[in-house]
């Protein structure tokens, strides 16, 4: 039961962050490790800046998939 509640909390938190436009760094790290293990993972600060630039029309950042 607690495992299900924990999973539900994780998904609700992720949904809330996506609704307000906050990037999900944990999902990015997981994706990079699974899909692009040969590439370096950005720091949280670099990831946040890149997502802000992508959302608000800043410089073009790295594209994936």
Write the pLDDT tens digit of every residue in 5-51.
Answer: 888 888 888 788 777 766 688 889 999 999 999 999 999 999 988 88
Question: Taking the alpha carbons of 12, 13, 17, 20 in that order, is the dihedral positive or negative?
Answer: positive
Q: For residues 45 and 64, is the Cβ–Cβ distance under 8 A?
A: no
Write the pLDDT tens digit of every residue in 26-39.
Answer: 889 999 999 999 99
Please tell me the predicted confidence (pLDDT) of residue 33.
96
Please tell me the predicted confidence (pLDDT) of residue 65.
65
């Amino acid at each position: 039961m607690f495992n299900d509640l924990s999973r539900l909390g994780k998904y609700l938190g992720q949904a809330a962050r996506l609704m307000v436009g906050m990037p999900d760094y944990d999902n990015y790290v997981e994706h990079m490790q699974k899909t692009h293990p040969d590439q370096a993972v950005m720091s949280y600060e670099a990831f946040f800046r890149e997502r802000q630039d992508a959302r608000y029309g800043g410089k073009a950042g790295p594209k994936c998939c």
